[in-house]
Amino acid sequence: MGVTLLVLGDPAEPTLRRLGSLPADVEVVIGADPAAFRDRAADAEVILSWSANRHLLEPVWRMAPRVRWIHSRAAGVDDLLFPELVASPVVLTNSRGVFSPALAEFVTAAVLFFAKDFRRMLASQVARRWDPFDVEEVRGKVMGIVGYGDIGRACAAQARALGLRVLAVRRRLDTGADPFAERVVAPDQRLEVLAASDYVVVAAPLTPETRGLLGERELRAMKPTAVLVNVGRGPVVEEKALVRALEAGWIRGAALDVFEREPLPPEHPFYTLPNVLLSPHCADHTAGWLDRAMDVFLDNFARFLRGEPLLNVVDKKRGY
């Protein structure tokens, strides 16, 4: 007997054509609203959340009592989880690892953007103004990483290659030595890391524990010359406090790929603050990123068919 796979996404998405490579007895049903799955959901065993959130996943999941596995194209799953899914035995996997190298490159670019003051260089170039000035060397500076999972470690590896020292904040502490970070501490010691860092990278997932993890107290603990880089989730940083920090000079600047509300409203002060580098949540949209995400799902689907353990299993209660 074959497997019915429900795919939550736009049927016109080109990458979804690769699902045609699945075995002939796999029935693939693709849709962007619950009505598309009404006839086949009762038989489904697998759901692929390709470009969906909880508002689509939840009603489809309720129509599919036989589902045993849900896969998320994204690494973050905060916008998919709901209480019944968390409490259920359904396995949830994600695309952890696919986006880490690209996000680490964005972090490296942000560090150099502020250290070399590329904004000033570009402004002078446009104005045809010869404006020599001293730039910073990042070697020997400290990068503090809040959220030391796959993305955080990728950032640390590149930071070490540039000669930065690395401190990290992580909920689950390992007992062995870390190959990149000098110290890895628990979240309740984050102020110490923030105070010592020249660049603070936020790479934590969004969970009830991390929402608002960096607020006014944490931002005031940072050096006035420090830069905050957020590639995790927007609500991990209290946005109003960050705006005040940037306007008042508590910190030097921020590079942001994620925000509390997306798309970022056009009236938001981030657009006009001179000490902000803004990326519209696309720092990991490099050539082939969708294909790499599909590779993760197809590999896991083959494991599912063979009855093997799935990769990238999410702890639904912890949210990552």
- CA 191 remoteness from chain centre: 22
Q: What is the pLDDT of residue 59?
A: 98
The pLDDT tens digits of the residues spanning 39-60 come to 999 999 999 999 999 999 999 9
Q: What is the pLDDT of residue 176?
A: 79
Mean pLDDT (the chain, rounded): 97
- Where does 214-310 have alpha helices with state H? 216-221, 239-248, 289-306
- What is the amino acid identity at position 153? R
Of the residues 233, 238, 239, 252, which is catalytic?
233
Q: Which CATH superfamily is domain 100-278 in?
A: NAD(P)-binding Rossmann-like Domain (3.40.50.720)
Of the residues 40, 220, 281, 303, which is catalytic?
281
Is the distance from CB of 192 to CB of 223 less than 8 angstroms?
no
- CA 170 remoteness from chain centre: 15
pLDDT above 90: percentage of residues in the chain: 98
Q: Is the domain covering 3-97+288-306 a CATH 3.65.10.10 domain?
A: no
In angstroms, the CA 145 to CA 169 distance is: 6
Identify the band that residue 177 occupies on the pLDDT scale cut at 50, 70 and 90.
confident
Q: What is the pLDDT of residue 174?
A: 81
The pLDDT tens digits of the residues spanning 225-246 come to 999 999 999 999 999 999 999 9
Q: What is the pLDDT of residue 158?
A: 98
Q: What is the pLDDT of residue 122?
A: 98
To the query of whether residue 13 is one of the catalytic residues in this protein, the response is no
At residue 2, what are phi and psi to the nearest 5 degrees? -80, 180
Of the residues 262, 285, 308, 318, which is catalytic?
262
Give the neighbor-by-neighbor strand order of the sheet with 142-146: 183-185, 165-169, 142-146, 199-202, 227-230, 253-256, 276-278
To the query of whether residue 281 is one of the catalytic residues in this protein, the response is yes
Q: What is the pLDDT of residue 1?
A: 66
Q: Which residues pair with 26 in a beta bridge?
A: 3
| Domains in the chain: boundaries | 3-97+288-306, 100-278
Residue 111 has pLDDT above 80, yes or no: yes
Residue 291 has pLDDT above 90, yes or no: yes
Residue 77 has pLDDT above 90, yes or no: yes
The pLDDT tens digits of the residues spanning 209-229 come to 999 999 999 999 999 999 999
To the query of whether residue 120 is one of the catalytic residues in this protein, the response is no
- What is the amino acid identity at position 165? R
Q: By C-alpha distance, which of 100, 95, 184 is closest to 145? A: 184
Q: Strand runs (DSSP E) across the chain, as ranges?
A: 3-8, 26-31, 44-49, 69-72, 91-93, 142-146, 165-169, 183-185, 199-202, 227-230, 253-256, 276-278
At residue 107, what are phi and psi to the nearest 5 degrees? -60, -45
Predicted TM-score (pTM) of this structure: 0.95
